[in-house]
Amino acid sequence: MKSTLIYLILLFSALQVSEQANREIFFADVTIYVEGGKYYLTGSKGESEGPQGFAFLESKDLKTWAVPAKATDSLGMILTKGDRTFGTKGFWAPQIFKDKRTYYLTYTADEQTVLAESKSLSGPYRQKEVRPIDGSEKNIDSYIFKDTNGTYYLYCVRFNKGNYLYVAEFDLKIGKIKPETLKRCFEQTEPWEATPNYKSAPIMEGPTVIKLKNKYYLFYSANHFQNIDYAIGYAVADSPYGPWVKNKNNPIIHRSIVSENGSGHGDLFEGVDKQLYYVYHVHHSSDKVGPRRTRIVPVVKQWDDQAGVYTFSVKGNEVIVPVMAEK
């Protein structure tokens, strides 16, 4: 009788774990926008999963998510291929921000950075003129940062025998960079940025930039996304252009900290509870990269009085596994 009871308990636990895994969210290159006491999540989804573009989910607690009630379709699409938008494939790495009464969505498609807009947070995001931000050469992983003086900067990845982070002043009104301001942020310099588990050219990508006490903090991912050591670190500067000083304790998100392979490419955000979080993706399993799973981890921000900067780390034992609400 006792052994039967133990078996039933183990079976029930296994079924619960299996059900949660089936309800997990499989967005990569993720971002979360916070407004009105709710969280809104979007990211890269598999091209075989319905229409190409970006879908939207909402949550009140970061744990349970659903397609917004106001969505016009079952996926919550906020930007769709061919609907007055640039791109035919490779819809990756979205970011949402607001300027005055307009919402903007910057993203990658056809290995070009793109800017679309909407009067509603839930879209649809479209372009007045269908084109990339800068078609002079390939560039991906856009992040648009607004400085405290109102100046915008575009951070993105450009290719040159590898993936390197660049920054340029950005004119939001016309949706273009100022080419004369374009500058590479830094080189691949640290051992954690190039581990031998997956051989590749230098790769640094997925930027997020914040400003605190006149210092600029650039969060980025390094290694190839298929590398189990895909991870996140940050660098600090006195200017949006650098020079950047990399944190000596990088990476701050890595499989050794969050216990899952391929932990990278996400976004930093402040929760409704005023807690900082980082949303990112991980490999599907220990032996399979995709479809990648979405994760959220609390971030610890501490002031280093001697260095005159904030330091960042994460609570690796408090990782949130977001799931879809039960139907």
In this prediction, the residues of the chain whose per-residue pLDDT falls under 50 are 5, 7-19
pLDDT at 116: 98
Give the tens place of pLDDT for each residue, 199-246: 999 999 999 999 999 999 999 999 999 999 999 999 999 999 999 999
Alpha helices in 222-288 (DSSP H): 255-258
| pLDDT score recorded for residue 187 | 98
- Which residue from 65, 28, 71, 34 is spatially nearest to 49, judged by alpha carbons? 28
Distance, in Å, from the CA atom of 149 to the CA atom of 77, rounded to the nearest integer, reads 34
Residue 172 CB neighbours (<10 A):
18
Q: Report pTM.
A: 0.93
Q: 180 in helix, strand or coil?
A: helix
